[in-house]
Amino acid sequence: KNQVEQSPQSLIILEGKNCTLQCNYTVSPFSNLRWYKQDTGRGPVSLTIMTFSENTKSNGRYTATLDADTKQSSLHITASQLSDSASYICVVSAPRGGYNKLIFGAGTRLAVHP
Partner 1 sequence: DAGITQSPRYKITETGRQVTLMCHQTWSHSYMFWYRQDLGHGLRLIYYSAAADITDKGEVPDGYVVSRSKTENFPLTLESATRSQTSVYFCASSESSSSSYEQYFGPGTRLTVT
Give the footprint of partner 1 on this chain (CB under 8 A).
Answer: 2, 4, 31-32, 41-46, 49, 89, 91, 93, 95, 98-107
Closer Cβ to partner 1, 6 or 63, answer by number = 6
Q: What are phi and psi of 103, to 5 degrees?
A: -110, 115
Residue (80 or 108) nearer to partner 1, CB:
108
Kindly state the smallest distance separating residue 67's Cβ from partner 1, in Å: 19
CB of 95 to partner 1, least distance (A): 7
Between 50 and 80, whose beta carbon lies closer to partner 1? 50
Q: How far is the CB of 14 from partner 1 (least distance, A)?
A: 26
Q: What are the distances in angstroms from CA 90 to CA 26, 34, 62, 98?
A: 13, 6, 13, 22
* Exposure string for 44-74, b = 16+ CB within 10 A, e = fewer: beebbbbeeeeeebeeeebbbbbebeebebb
In the complex with partner 1, the residue whose CB is nearer, 84 or 107, is: 107
Under a CB-based contact definition with an 8 Å cutoff, are residues 91 and 37 in contact? no
Q: Strand, coil or helix: what is 82?
A: helix
Smallest distance from the beta carbon of 49 to partner 1, in angstroms? 7
